[in-house]
Chain A
Amino acid sequence: MSAAIDLESLTLDNGGHLLVRRALGTLRPGERLTVRGAHPELPLQLGAWARSRGHRVDHEAPAPTDGRPVTVLVKGAAEELRWSGARRAGRADRADPHADPRWGLAARGALVEEGGPALDVAWVDRDLVWADVAPTLYARAAASQWDPATAVDWAVPDALPTDIEDAVVQVMTYLVENEQAALMIPARMLANLHPHYREVMQLLASQVADEARHVEVFTRRALLHRERPGTSGAGGRASLQTLLGEPDFTLASFLLSVLGEGTFVDLLGFLHHHAPDPVTAGITRLAARDEARHVAFGVAHTAHVTRSDPAFLGRLRQAVERRHDALRDTAGLNQEVYDSLVLLAAGSWEPAAIRRGWDAVQELQRQMDDGRRRRLHAIGFPDDESAELSALHTRNFM
């Protein structure tokens, strides 16, 4: 087969090569393309262009009859050879059970040229990172992003009583350090995840962005009336550190999202309910909404794993016990945080009020325990084991 094109006044320095490439694309190696055009330098340009791409000019081809330059190109094999070993990066419409690191950063389903560096990531198996609800959760996350500057009315409200403000600042200080852990953990999971599992990657990325906003709004509330935040206890930080040290995707997701963030949803609800000012009420409500999504993925993903591998429940259990053992000799929750929660629920130092505050925090902890047991049950633990594991959860809440 042979073909012919006319570039008219085009040359190869103003787009003519696109037409030549397109025409050659219809031919097989060894077949001929006759290129005509008006520009006298076209043969020179075609010679240079063809040579650099492995095509050949047939110099024995008959001379032009109409006075316009004619060049006959003989198609080379380079283009076909380049793509001869190419493979699709799975299918566009579904996540493959195994993601080949050689697909690299290619879009899911793209035709991947052979060669190039393999992606250095640990999580390349669908069932170790997946949850069927991930695409839905990502869509919901994308639709629920909020702007801290406008979603909260930051107009400085009347100052609270000094002790109440102190309690708010201390709780905010504690929240920020927890949010920072909650940001770093999905960021680490992300960095080790094959992007073939696009929906999980996107969801974790939105989770990181959520936590960034939480860090911002809690910091801003802490410093609304004060120059400095409150205290950071060693026990609380030790508790968070054990989360950062968990290398397994599912165990990290389980400890952080199912148990930690799950417990945090109740804490944020409590703070919203007892907030002494509208800013505190507003930011805890916004954060709690985001956290519910993080928890939903953690539960769905962990359940996905235990459904296909019931023995994994044993590893989850070990992870809880390991973390409990590691924290056995630490103080857990900062005493000042606990006291601040009581005072916020009490609203004043009146003994009767403190009694109510104390009872409210007790009730909060019962609620947290109920929630954890419910989620552990959803993952596949029997009731008695759920209760046992919930009781081993860190006193630091997260």
Chain B
Amino acid sequence: MKTLLLGAVAYDPKTVTIWEGFRRWLRARDCDLDFVLYAHYERQAEDLLAGRIDVAWHSPLAWVRSRRLADADGTALTAVTMRDTDRDLTTAVVVRADSPLTSVTDLAGRTVAVGAVDSPQATLLPLSLLRSAGLEPDTDVKVLRHDTGVGLHGDHIGGERDAAIALRDGRADAACMTDSNLLLFRQEGTLPAAATRVLAHTDRYDHCVMAAGPSADPAALDHLTGLLLDMSYADAEARPLLDLEGLTRWLPGRTDRYDALEKAVDEAGFYDRRGGVSVRGYRP
């Protein structure tokens, strides 16, 4: 069986442990996986289409870009698997509990704290929510960006935490974060209990996905997909890896929940239709 070369972004040192572990587990089951780590998603998205890697562990934004690159090339991309935890996320627009704001339109003239420029969940999607309420970012509302880990597509939690702190400390009137980070920030006390409330939230969307590019050997890919979908939380060797990567099981990849992000990318002019990086001031 042919080797599959997987790309993943090194957003944290633990990615080495994770992919070494998955590689060991897969190789023990006759799946010859190798991996390379990238410093950011843009090169990974480009390399997937160029055939320098066969499979990419992609952020939703990297999926959008690779899909556009593939369309422009006339090639196809396959969504292999995703984590159970990648399905049905929402992003909340949070305000202080004593804030007079009651709807998204009340944010006109106010300051909204977001994550990094390339964070789908903490910047692109919530700003699109504001647009659908008729508020143009940087014109009708002031956007306070928190560019931690630019190029990591928001994988680094620091941008969202800084946005939450800006809200707490009164430097912003609202802050955008995922439902899970909102819960985390409240549980860990970054946001004091009962000090904030949710003003609005996005529709549900999907997050990361494992994407296979044109160079992936179909039989090897089938084998990989089957093994990942069979990987059980009951397996004591696999469980620490699943815990570290933040899932309890792999699910089939689905790609019908990225429409909101496609729209947000267009509105922000982040990528062009052919997958080129068109946003200004983005230097991963």
* CB-based contact B183/A12 at 8 Å: yes
Which A68-118 residues have a C-beta within 8 angstroms of B?
76-78, 81-82, 84-85, 113-115
**B237 contacts which chain A residues (CB < 8 A)?**
115
* CB-based contact B232/A81 at 8 Å: yes
* CB-based contact B88/A47 at 8 Å: yes
Partner of B239, one of A40, A47, A77, A115: A115
Partner of B187, one of A13, A51, A57, A82: A13
Partner of B84, one of A13, A48, A54, A82: A54
* CB-based contact A81/B85 at 8 Å: no
Please tell me if B40 contacts chain A, counting CB pairs below 8 Å: no
Count the A-B residue pairs with Cβ separation under 8 angstroms: how many? 71
Closest to A44 in B: B179
Please tell me if A52 contacts chain B, counting CB pairs below 8 Å: yes
**B249 contacts which chain A residues (CB < 8 A)?**
54, 78
Instruction: Looking at the assembled complex, report how far the CB atom of A85 sits from the nearest CB atom of chain B, in whole angstroms.
Output: 6
Please tell me if A188 contacts chain B, counting CB pairs below 8 Å: no
* CB-based contact B233/A44 at 8 Å: no
Please tell me if A308 contacts chain B, counting CB pairs below 8 Å: no
**Assembly CA distance A44 to B232 (angstroms):** 28
Which B61-86 residues have a C-beta within 8 angstroms of A?
84-85
* CB-based contact B240/A115 at 8 Å: yes
**A47 contacts which chain B residues (CB < 8 A)?**
88, 90, 179
**Assembly CA distance A51 to B87 (angstroms):** 8
Instruction: Looking at the assembled complex, report how far the CB atom of A18 sits from the nearest CB atom of chain B, in whole angstroms.
Output: 12
Please tell me if A41 contacts chain B, counting CB pairs below 8 Å: yes
**B183 contacts which chain A residues (CB < 8 A)?**
12-13, 45, 48-49
Given contacts A12-B183, A44-B201, A45-B179, contact A51 B234 (CB under 8 A): no
Which B182-227 residues have a C-beta within 8 angstroms of A?
182-183, 186-187, 193, 197-198, 201, 204
**Assembly CA distance A12 to B92 (angstroms):** 16
Please tell me if B178 contacts chain A, counting CB pairs below 8 Å: yes
**A52 contacts which chain B residues (CB < 8 A)?**
85, 180, 246
**Assembly CA distance A114 to B235 (angstroms):** 8
Please tell me if A14 contacts chain B, counting CB pairs below 8 Å: yes
* CB-based contact B90/A78 at 8 Å: no
**Assembly CA distance A59 to B204 (angstroms):** 10
* CB-based contact A77/B178 at 8 Å: no
Given contacts A44-B92, A51-B87, A53-B248, contact A78 B233 (CB under 8 A): yes
**B246 contacts which chain A residues (CB < 8 A)?**
52
* CB-based contact A57/B233 at 8 Å: no
* CB-based contact B180/A82 at 8 Å: no
Instruction: Looking at the assembled complex, report how far the CB atom of B94 sits from the nearest CB atom of chain A, in whole angstroms.
Output: 10
Q: Which of A45, A57, A76, A113 has the most chain B CB atoms closer than 10 A to its own CB? A: A45
**Assembly CA distance A82 to B204 (angstroms):** 28
Interface size class of B (residues with CB under 8 A): 20 to 34
Interface string of A256-280 (1 = CB under 8 A from B): 0000000000000000000000000
**B193 contacts which chain A residues (CB < 8 A)?**
13-14
Partner of A81, one of B90, B186, B204, B233: B233
Instruction: Looking at the assembled complex, report how far the CB atom of A203 sits from the nearest CB atom of chain B, in whole angstroms.
Output: 33
**A53 contacts which chain B residues (CB < 8 A)?**
248
* CB-based contact A51/B186 at 8 Å: no
Interface string of A37-70 (1 = CB under 8 A from B): 0001100110111011110010100000000000
* CB-based contact B233/A82 at 8 Å: yes
Closest to B248 in A: A54
Given contacts A14-B193, A41-B197, A57-B88, contact A51 B233 (CB under 8 A): no
* CB-based contact B233/A48 at 8 Å: no
* CB-based contact B198/A48 at 8 Å: no
**Assembly CA distance A35 to B196 (angstroms):** 22
Please tell me if B89 contacts chain A, counting CB pairs below 8 Å: yes
**Assembly CA distance A77 to B249 (angstroms):** 10
Partner of B236, one of A12, A14, A51, A85: A85
**Assembly CA distance A40 to B180 (angstroms):** 16
Instruction: Looking at the assembled complex, report how far the CB atom of B153 sits from the nearest CB atom of chain A, in whole angstroms.
Output: 19
**B239 contacts which chain A residues (CB < 8 A)?**
82, 115
**B240 contacts which chain A residues (CB < 8 A)?**
115
Q: Which of A40, A49, A59, A115 has the most chain B CB atoms closer than 10 A to its own CB? A: A115
**Assembly CA distance A76 to B88 (angstroms):** 15
* CB-based contact B248/A76 at 8 Å: yes
**B247 contacts which chain A residues (CB < 8 A)?**
54
Instruction: Looking at the assembled complex, report how far the CB atom of A14 sits from the nearest CB atom of chain B, in whole angstroms.
Output: 6
**A76 contacts which chain B residues (CB < 8 A)?**
84, 248
**Assembly CA distance A114 to B239 (angstroms):** 10
**B89 contacts which chain A residues (CB < 8 A)?**
48, 51
Given contacts A48-B182, A114-B236, 18 further A-B contacts (CB under 8 A): A12-B183, A13-B183, A41-B197, A44-B92, A44-B201, A45-B183, A47-B88, A47-B90, A51-B84, A51-B88, A53-B248, A77-B248, A78-B233, A78-B248, A78-B249, A81-B232, A115-B237, A115-B239
Q: Which 4 A-B pairs have the closest CB atoms?
A: A54-B248, A115-B236, A13-B186, A114-B236
The contact sample of 13 A-B pairs, CB cut-off 8 A, is A13-B183, A14-B193, A44-B90, A44-B201, A45-B182, A48-B89, A48-B178, A48-B180, A59-B88, A76-B248, A84-B234, A113-B236, A115-B237
